[in-house]
Amino acid sequence: MSNHFIDVIPYLIEGIKLTLLITFVGVAIGFVLGAITGLGRLSKNKLIYGIATVYVEIIRGTPILVQILFIYFGLSDLMGINLDKITASIIAIALNAGAYIAEIVRGGVQSIDKGQREAGRSLGLTPSQTMRYIIWPQALKRMIPALGNQFIISLKDTSLFSVIAVGEVLYQGRQYASTTFTYFEPFFMIAVMYLIITIPAMLILRYIERRLDV
């Protein structure tokens, strides 16, 4: 067996650290943004609904690679905003995941029977209290499978950040390949590294789904 299968691992481990950092921070921010935007998409206020809808449609209608390049290069050229690569990557993941999470939130809330809102009113709760104590907990439970899938998608999307030289898994593997002029072993191990991350994530997600009986 070629030593390159083993020699590339330290490079990829360094990449995994950055991949996980960008994914966890970006998706966490994206969840907050998505929750706010998803509820905005349900608002009866036309301005709030309009802003939320424009954001979701722009992000969902453009490739994440274009979004990455726009955030890193475009903002610098247009507004003189110079972001470091890691910050730009986190913003890209947050904005992209946020748009998709917004639709997950919207669908989750809409899936709750309208009778639940009436029950909240009969208990003397305000609309916001009804959402917080009755609707949201039930909706969040139903969102878990889709949120887990979005996490995995965002994790894999970090591979695109190699275009701005972010040292995530793919970039580190490419650097090793270009240095050693070997390609099969590094790219094979890159795939293995992604599977090492994603398979446990999927198993944990399934376990949570079974526990919550989703």
- Which among 75, 84, 63, 93 has a CA at the least distance from the CA of 164? 84
Task: Supply the pLDDT for residue 199.
Answer: 92
Counted domains in the chain: 1
Average pLDDT of the chain is: 89
Domain residues for the domain of 14 are 4-212
Read off the pLDDT of residues 192-208 as tens digits, 9 standing for 90 and up: 999 999 999 889 888 88
What mean pLDDT do residues 118-139 have? Answer: 83
Q: How far apart are CA 71 and CA 66, in angstroms?
A: 9
CATH at 78: 1.10.3720.10
* Cβ-contact 69, 164 below 8 angstroms: yes
Read off the pLDDT of residues 102-124 as tens digits, 9 standing for 90 and up: 999 999 999 988 888 778 888 87
Whether the pTM exceeds 0.85: the reply is yes
Read off the pLDDT of residues 39-66 as tens digits, 9 standing for 90 and up: 999 998 999 999 999 999 999 999 999 9
Task: Supply the pLDDT for residue 146.
Answer: 93
Amino acid type, 113: D
**Tokens matching residue 109:** 């809330």
Positive or negative: CA dihedral 206, 211, 213, 214: negative
